[in-house]
Structure 1
Amino acid sequence: MAFGGAIGTAVRAFLAQAFPAVDGISWTILAINVVGAFCLGLLLDTLARRGPDVGRRRSLRLFVGTGVLGGFTTYSTLANDTARLLGDGRWAAGGGYALLSVVLGLAAVVAGLAVAGGTTERAAR
């Protein structure tokens, strides 16, 4: 799990450095969190449909879900960036960034679940 976290964190750090914040808003972190939410929904639904959370499925869930995706996503940076924007008096930017992150994250999880469900149903035919 720790190795997975190191992988996810390294990828996030690379992307955040390659695509820095614009005017105090890190669109890269927003995209990372949304992609991570989608992947987590996809992973968990796919694994749940294949059987109980034991053995290799459990190991995969912990390595990829908790490790890689846990290290890749960063809601603490979202909270810090939002607090900084609000502290600078940029209420619309801070509130919009936080709200957009939550709404897009929820939509991404739902999309991941839908894709996993559709893939599993097609494979069962």
Structure 2
Amino acid sequence: MKTRRDQAIEPTDPDIDLSVPAQRREPARGQAPVIAVVAVGGGLGAIARFGASLLWPTPAGAFPWTTLLVNAVGCAMIGVFMVITTDVWAAHRLVRPFFGTGVLGGFTTFSTYAVDIQHLVQSGHARTGLAYLAATLLAALAAVWAAAAAARRLISWRTT
């Protein structure tokens, strides 16, 4: 009888029996390189984001333009990257976790976005916080869509 835990971790290898403790570790061992590249990439992305915040600091109560720009640029890069790795290039299995999840996940900062909104609202700048909430959401969605569409157009133009 399978438990909820066994059902949540279905192995890709049909020869692995999750009821055997030693075999439950098998899927986890295969994920070690993925976890490592996500961690390294995330660190690099976070350093880049931190650098942007040092170059363009946001004064208290001001509109957080740097975080909005970082998130929009990161989303645009995600759009281009996903098109390249799905439509153009058969990437190594660690490229997407490293760059997409790691670097770009560490670079974009939706946790800081949430904290920025909280600080704006708590400091009496609720309208600015709401404007920032909407502007970041719209900018991020528009950036990923526009960048992916532009990348697809460029690829189709170059192949014709």
* Aligned residue pairs, count: 122
Matching residue's letter, 1:33:
N
In structure 2, C-alpha distance between the alignment counterparts of 1:59 and 1:118, rounded to whole Å: 26
The question of 1:93 aligning with 2:128 is answered yes
In structure 2, C-alpha distance between the alignment counterparts of 1:116 and 1:4, rounded to whole Å: 23
Aligned position for 2:6: none
Equivalent position SS for 2:139: helix
Aligned position for 1:17: 54
Structure 2 residues without counterparts, runs of 5 or longer: 1-37
The question of 1:123 aligning with 2:154 is answered no
Aligned position for 1:28: 66
The question of 1:72 aligning with 2:107 is answered yes
Q: 1:50 aligns with which of 82, 88, 110?
A: 88
Aligned position for 2:28: none
In structure 1, C-alpha distance between the alignment counterparts of 2:94 and 2:157, rounded to whole Å: 25
Matching residue's letter, 1:15:
A
In structure 2, C-alpha distance between the alignment counterparts of 1:5 and 1:23, rounded to whole Å: 27
Instruction: Using the TM superposition, give the Cα deviation of residue 51 of structure 1 relative to its aligned residue in structure 2, in angstroms.
Output: 6.4
Matching residue's letter, 2:47:
A
Q: 2:78 aligns with which of 23, 30, 40?
A: 40
Does the Cα contact within 8 Å between 2:64 and 2:132 map onto a contact in 1?
A: no
In structure 1, C-alpha distance between the alignment counterparts of 2:65 and 2:89, rounded to whole Å: 37
> Percent identical across equivalent pairs?
34
Higher normalized contact order (CA 8 Å, seq sep 6+, divided by chain length): 1
More helix by share: 1
In structure 2, C-alpha distance between the alignment counterparts of 1:13 and 1:101, rounded to whole Å: 18
In structure 2, C-alpha distance between the alignment counterparts of 1:18 and 1:108, rounded to whole Å: 22
Instruction: Using the TM superposition, give the Cα deviation of residue 23 of structure 1 relative to its aligned residue in structure 2, in angstroms.
Output: 4.3
The question of 1:6 aligning with 2:50 is answered no
Equivalent position SS for 2:57: coil
Matching residue's letter, 1:87:
Q
Displaced runs of 4 or more, over 4 A = none
> TM-score under structure 2 normalisation?
0.71
Q: 1:82 aligns with which of 106, 117, 125?
A: 117
After superposition, the C-alpha distances for 1:72-119 in whole angstroms (9 at most, x for unaligned) are: 010000000101111222111000011000001111011111121012
Equivalent position SS for 1:21: coil
